[in-house]
Every structure is written in structure tokens, then in C-alpha cells.
Amino acid sequence: MDRPIHSRRRGSCAALIIAVGLLGAPSAAHAQAGSLPATAQDLTLLSLEELMGIEVTSVSKRAEPLSDAAAAVAVVTGDEIRRAGARNLAEALRLIPGLEVAATSAQGYAISARGFNSTSSDKLEVLLDGRSVYTPLFSGVFWDSLRTYLPDIERIEVIRGPGAALWGANAVNGVINIVTKPASETLGTQVNLAAGTQERGYAAVRTGSRLGDASAIRIYGLGREIDRSERADGREAVDGARFGQFGVRSDSGWGDDRTLTLSGDFYDGTQRANDAAASTEVDYDVQGANLLARWVDRNLAGGTLSLQASYDHSDRRQPTVFAETRDTVDLQAQHARAAGARHYWVYGLGYRHSQDRTGEAPDYAVIWDPAQRTLQTWSAFVQDQIRVGGDAGTLTLGSKFEYNDFTGFEFQPNARLGWRWSPALFTWASLSRAVRTPNRLDSDLAVFCPPPDGFPPACGPGVFRIGNPDLESEKLHALEGGLRAQLAEHLSLDLVLFYNRYSDLRSTERDVPFFGSFANRLRGEGYGAETTLAWQVARSLSLQASYAWLQLDLETQRSSSDNTSVSTVEGSSPRHRAWLRAAWQPAPAWSVDGFLRYVGALDNYDVPAYTELTLRTAWHPLPQLELAIVGSHLLDDRHAEWNSGPTRAEVERAVLFELSWRWQ
């Protein structure tokens, strides 16, 4: 493992060749499959009325128009992701109003909603096709290994604010639901190639075909190589990555009532990292696989029954620093049915079983005690949507009930009221309680400082326990309200106001030298506003502008010795964020897209406020062929988005060339 994994002198990537070779040439069956021209599904050219008619499922676990969803929900479509030039899921989430996305390295991100951002953000529930992808290790997401083939994404739904009444204990400040297209909508073969100054090489192939009249299957493979970023002092950062992934999905139907979805992915990646003990560079390996099966019967017991089972395996190893192998099984059952003319019930049961094996001392510096642990969570939820005021209003009442191995029983109720005053005006309000239950990091984290000297001046020799097995759940009481208004025929407004009250937040007490230990002695409030204005200037030109303001005011209890968490949490999220997006199609074969964003300062990291611009121009010489050039972070040679000091990785100006080719 002593060879250099990335350098600016090397642009080859074996993973690219492997990804293309996984699938080979299309078969004759593929040649007969239908496919749409590259611009036929371009949602950026839909009218505002058509866009607001897009259905979402994350708010109430049933399909409903975006315009009538009583929550701070936003949707970014697959076509918007393509036209924005996003290269991964984290970059796609920059398109969501109010969401905080900061690049921490060439492949790492810190992502949160409404504050509390960190590389281990723990207050977001993230799902991919209904499969929860957060890890019980720290109740967050490893964004560097959460990948999928981006052209297969149908939409990403994001709820800013609590979603715990339906989605459970991690959905404190938001829910991200990534939805991919059915296999029947990805027929034929598509090849994507890209190369640039930061993403040194990318290749992907996806092919899909029908299996009879009511079934279809698709298979994809991708590989990429990401160059090292640059440090604040001008030297190369210790990051960069190679990554390969392979996946398959099939959808089968029996009439209009019953469907079966089967899917799975396997990924393998290598990143570059520091060996803190030896001050050398090492390869950091990430591997994993997942399987999902979902059965839906839309005509059972007067309603719709959904059964889902998923399995996740992950293995992450950074020599001498950290290691985790995890296997998770998740089972979900849900039934939805109307009860008379005014009520619609959704209720379900769930079970999650997660087993890990972590690195032990003295092989690793960051350890968990015990090194192996099995966690179980049992859950149930119920929700009733009640029509009130004729057809003008909907009152939604519901709660999630969970039993976990850390704090026992938890309940998370929610009440939402949506009211349509006129075809052009919809208002909503909600009151919620949500909890963030402890995880392995909270309860079991420890640090090994090897003899004879440990890590001076941080610690002497021995094991220092930071986790606290007696931690309680973090609690949130949230009040939200908003409106969606059609101000004119081609102009719409979305406005959200929120107030969050937090208690029993995790603090770091200074009763253990240097590292400290965890307790529930932090509390406070967060409040703010998020607004989005959309203007369809012409059929070929649309503009969107967004602004988000956040104020966090935290404090420690009198008994706390924590003198850093308040400033760390308050200073890790920007107070102001704004962006402007433009999508223009000057001619049938051309499209031009711009994304200008402003992010306020991060006082905790001494990251100044910055403004950045991304431009993408695409040309369709043939309906099935697209050539594009993307320029990102164009306003600075490089800028910081996270961390502090001369060794922090900074985001550089980059240029990328893309080719997308589809055939039947």
C-alpha cells in the first residue's frame, strides 16, 4: 500500500475501464427497447403549475401534490441535477433551499438542515429508495461512499424540519428521500464519460431491457478517480479517491395492483488519508453492498399494503486510526386505507437489527468499548389525515413509537394543518416532537494512547473513555408555518418560518484530560426563515432565487464544564445562505445553466463568507447524444468551506467535460 494513489501527473484510472467492461456491448434485445431523446424529460421547461403538481411521498408516506404538502418540502428532479452539473448526491443537495452542504475534502462533505452541521451530522434521516442509509455508529451518513448512478434518479425530496412522526428517531431536523426511476423508465443503453481538472476520470454504463410485458431490469457500473485537493498553504492535501460501483434493479408487475421491486449495489473505494500516529499517508479502504426487496399490493383490505426488507453491509478501514464492519437488516410493513369520506389512515411496523465489529486497541487509536455490539430497534407508527372545512383543509395527526437499546421507549408525535384558501394560496402549520437517540459514538467511544508516552500533549498511555452509556435522547419541540403562493401567472413564492427548542443536547464535559466525556447538559433554540421565488420568464428560460436565515442560541447548564460546544455548534453553520439558478434553452439543441450561491461565514472554523458560480453549457448534436462543459467554483482559484488552519483542504476552480450517449 505504499504506491501513490493520486497525483496531478497521473490521470489514468483502472476503475473506469472496469466499469465499462462490466456490461459490455448491448444485446439485440436492448436494441429493440425504447428510449427518449435527451431533452424529452427536461422538467426545467415545465410551467410552474406543472411543477407544483409533482407528487411527493416523504411528508405523509403517501403520494400527494407538492403544492398541498403541509411541510417545508422541496424537490430537485433528475433533470435539474444533470443540468446543474452535480457530480454526486452531496452536490445535488446544494440545489435544495435551506440545506447546508460544505465540502470538507476532495470526497468528504458535511451536510445538515437548520444548523448542527459537522462531518458527523446526526439529525438527518437519509433514505435511498426507502432504505435508510444512516449508520448507528454516529447516526449520520458516510457521504463519501453513498453513491448511485445519477441519471437513474427520478427526484430527491427533502423535508427541512422534523419528520420523526413517520421516519423515526434520526429525523430531527430533516429527511432526505432519494427516489430512483423504475427499471421500465430506463430502457436501452446509456454511456457517460467525463474528465476534468478535479474529477480526473469518470465512466459509467447502464443498460435496461424488458422481461415480458410487465417487468423490466437494469444494470449499471461506474468508476471514477478524484484528484487531490489543495491545502490552504498551497500544498497538496492528503485526500483524493478511487471508487467503483455496480448495481441492478428489477421491477415486476401483476396487473395494476401488485408490484415487486428487487435491487442491489456493491461498491469498492480507496481514499487517501493521514496516519496520525506515524505522520505518513495511508490508503483508506471502503467497501459495501446492499439488497432491497419491496412488495406493494394496492388492493388489499381496502387499501395499499407495502412490505420491505433490506440488508446493508459496510466495511471501512483506516490503518492505525479507525475500523468498522457493519451488517444491518431492516424490515418494514405499512398499510394505508381510506376510512369514510374524511379520513385516510397510514400505519405500520418496523424492526432494525444492526451488528458491528470495530477496531480494537492497540491496532487503532479511535476505538469503541465494547468492540462488538448488536443494536435493535422496534417501531410502530400511525397517522390519520382528516379532511376539514370541506375540501379546503387537511389536519394530520400521528406519532412514531420506538423502543431502542440505549434509552428504551420513545414517542414522537406530530400535528399538521394545511389550508387552501384559493387556487393560488396554500398555507400550513405544524407542531412536532422529535428525539435523536444515542448511538455508538455517544455511548461507547474511546481513545487509545499507546505506551510509553501516548500522544503528548493530548494524552498519556492508556484508554480514555469519552462515551457515556447513561446518555439520554436529545429532544426537539418544533413549531413551523409556511405558505405557497402563485403571485402571478408565471411567478410563485414559497415561504417557511420555524422555531426549534432543543433540550438534553450532547455536551463534552472536561472531567477527563484533553478529550472530555459526554453528557446531556446543552440546550437552546434555533429559529429562522427560508424562502424561494420561482419565475418562468419564458418557455425557454426559468429563474429561481432562494434565501435562508438561521439563528442558533445555545447554552450550557450551570453544572456543565463544557466551554467549547456552544461556540462550536453555533459557529459551524452559516447564518445566511442564498442562491440564484437560471436554466436557459436558447435553441432546441443547446442549454445553458448557471448556479450562483452565497454562503455566510463559519466562525468556528474561521471560514469567511464566499460566493461561487457554476456554469454548464450542453449541446445535443443528435437527440441521443449530449456534449457538455461544466465550470465550477469559477470566482476563486480556491476557497475554504470547512475546517481551519494551513492544512485544511480547499475547493479549487474546476473544469469538466462530459459526454452522454444513449441508444435503443
Residue 29 has pLDDT above 70, yes or no: no
Check residues 307 and 319 and name the one with the higher pLDDT.
307
For 185-223, the pLDDT digits (tens) are: 999 999 999 999 999 999 999 999 999 889 999 999 999
Q: Determine the number of helices (DSSP H) and then strands (DSSP E) in the chain.
A: 8, 37
Q: For residues 356 and 313, give the distance between their C-alpha atoms in angstroms, rounded to a whole number.
A: 10
Check residues 265 and 9 and name the one with the higher pLDDT.
265
Q: What are residue 249's DSSP bridge partners?
A: 218, 263
Residue 30 has pLDDT above 70, yes or no: no
Residue 15 has pLDDT above 70, yes or no: no
Average pLDDT over residues 595-624: 96
The pLDDT value given to residue 4: 38
The pLDDT value given to residue 386: 96
For 617-644, the pLDDT digits (tens) are: 999 999 999 999 999 999 999 999 999 9
- Kindly state the cell numbers that stand for 45: 421547461
Average pLDDT over residues 468-481: 97
Q: How buried is 54 (Cβ within 10 angstroms: 0-12 exposed, 13-18 middle, 19+ buried)?
A: middle
Residue 22 has pLDDT above 70, yes or no: no
CA distances from 490 to 45, 187, 339, 387 (A): 12, 34, 38, 30
- Kindly state the cell numbers that stand for 73: 418540502
Q: What are residue 220's DSSP bridge partners?
A: 206, 247
Residue 517 has pLDDT above 50, yes or no: yes
The pLDDT value given to residue 512: 60
Please state, for a pLDDT cut of 70, what percent of the chain lies above it. Answer: 91
The pLDDT value given to residue 318: 85
For 391-419, the pLDDT digits (tens) are: 899 999 999 999 999 999 999 999 999 99
Check residues 277 and 220 and name the one with the higher pLDDT.
220
Return the percent helix, strand and coil in the chain, to nearest 5. 10, 60, 35
The whole-chain average pLDDT of the chain stands at 89
Nearest CA among 49, 7, 57 for reference residue 200 = 7
**H/E/C letters for each residue in 228-243?**
CCEECCCCECCCCEEE
Q: For residues 335 and 305, give the distance between their C-alpha atoms in angstroms, rounded to a whole number.
A: 4
136 CB-near residues (< 8 Å, 6+ apart)? 326, 328, 354, 356, 375, 439, 440
Check residues 611 and 27 and name the one with the higher pLDDT.
611
Q: For residues 595 and 604, give the distance between their C-alpha atoms in angstroms, rounded to a whole number.
A: 27
Q: How buried is 481 (Cβ within 10 angstroms: 0-12 exposed, 13-18 middle, 19+ buried)?
A: middle
CA distances from 511 to 183, 278, 384, 559 (A): 56, 28, 48, 12
- Kindly state the cell numbers that stand for 588: 432546441
Please state, for a pLDDT cut of 90, what percent of the chain lies above it. Answer: 75
9 CB-near residues (< 8 Å, 6+ apart)? none
Average pLDDT over residues 273-284: 69
State the DSSP H helix or E strand holding residue 15, giving kind and residue range, or none if neither. Answer: helix 14-23
The pLDDT value given to residue 153: 97
Strand pairing category for 230-231 and 215-226: unpaired
CA distances from 357 to 8, 314, 363, 450 (A): 36, 11, 14, 21
pTM of the model: 0.90
326 CB-near residues (< 8 Å, 6+ apart)? 135, 136, 137, 312, 313, 314, 315, 354, 355, 356, 357
For 418-457, the pLDDT digits (tens) are: 999 999 999 999 999 999 999 999 999 998 888 888 777 7
Check residues 173 and 448 and name the one with the higher pLDDT.
173
131 CB-near residues (< 8 Å, 6+ apart)? 290, 292, 308, 310, 312, 330
Give the pLDDT band of residue 25 (cuts 50, 70, 90). Answer: very low
Task: Give the three-state DSSP class for 191.
Answer: strand
CA 103, 109, 110, 111 dihedral sign is positive
CA 182, 186, 187, 189 dihedral sign is negative
**Phi/psi of residue 78, nearest 5 degrees:** -60, -35
Average pLDDT over residues 363-373: 91
